[in-house]
Amino acid sequence: MLDLIHGVVSQMGPMRPPMYQDSTGLLLALMFIFVAGFAMMLMLFPRLEGVRPSGSIRPEVERFEEEHVVERPEEHVEAVGNHAIDVALRLLEPDERRVVEALVGAGGTMLQKDVSYELGFTRVKTHRVMVKLLRRGVVTAEKYYNTNRIQIADWLKPGQRP
């Protein structure tokens, strides 16, 4: 009996081939995660040129200007351009205000990556602030190679009132 147990325990026969796991399921799972992540990124970070104004601050600025009209019309043309941007700056959040002030300091137009660099914002924070400004109608954006060209809206530029 001992010989039988010793023969079974110490059997020196061929070993089975190693069992490999089928990688098809793993590959499909990884592809699903990638596609879901990409779709989520597109939903969270929309392209700036696709953002449309929804809650413009322009009516508030114009209402304030009408309440505080300058007496002489020749001064009104000069004062309205500067006055509109001042009123708009008061209505903005601090980060939005910093972006608009940087745009005004640069002549009204900048690249989004330059705004990010100059203000020390991350790319994500810059994008979020730009979306807020676009929705409020304060700035416009157009695609410029791998970044966006950001401009102050025409109604806020000095001397250009519709």
pLDDT in tens, 120-155: 999 999 999 999 999 988 999 999 988 899 999 888
User: Can you give the pLDDT at residue 99?
Assistant: 94
User: Can you give the pLDDT at residue 18?
Assistant: 58
Low-confidence ranges of the chain (pLDDT < 50): 70, 72-74, 76-81, 162
Which is nearest to 108 in space by CA: 162, 160, 37?
A: 160
Q: Phi/psi of residue 123, each to 5°?
A: -60, -40
User: Can you give the pLDDT at residue 3?
Assistant: 65
Name every residue whose Cβ is closer than 8 Å to that of residue 48 and which is 6 or more positions away in sequence. Answer: 112, 127, 130, 131, 134, 141, 143, 148
Domain boundaries, the chain: 52-156
Q: Are 126 and 45 in contact (CB under 8 A)?
A: no
In the chain, which ranges are continuous DSSP H helix? 2-9, 24-44, 58-67, 73-91, 94-105, 112-119, 123-135
User: Can you give the pLDDT at residue 15?
Assistant: 59
User: Can you give the pLDDT at residue 159?
Assistant: 60
User: Can you give the pLDDT at residue 155?
Assistant: 84
Record the tokens describing residue 106, joined without a space: 């640069």
User: Can you give the pLDDT at residue 72?
Assistant: 46
Give the count of alpha carbons within 13 A of 96, CB side only.
21
User: Can you give the pLDDT at residue 149?
Assistant: 94
User: Can you give the pLDDT at residue 154?
Assistant: 87
- Give the pTM: 0.60
Pick the CATH number of 52-156 from 1.10.10.10, 3.90.1170.50, 2.60.40.180, 3.30.70.20: 1.10.10.10
The secondary structure of residue 54, as a DSSP letter, is: S
User: Can you give the pLDDT at residue 16?
Assistant: 59
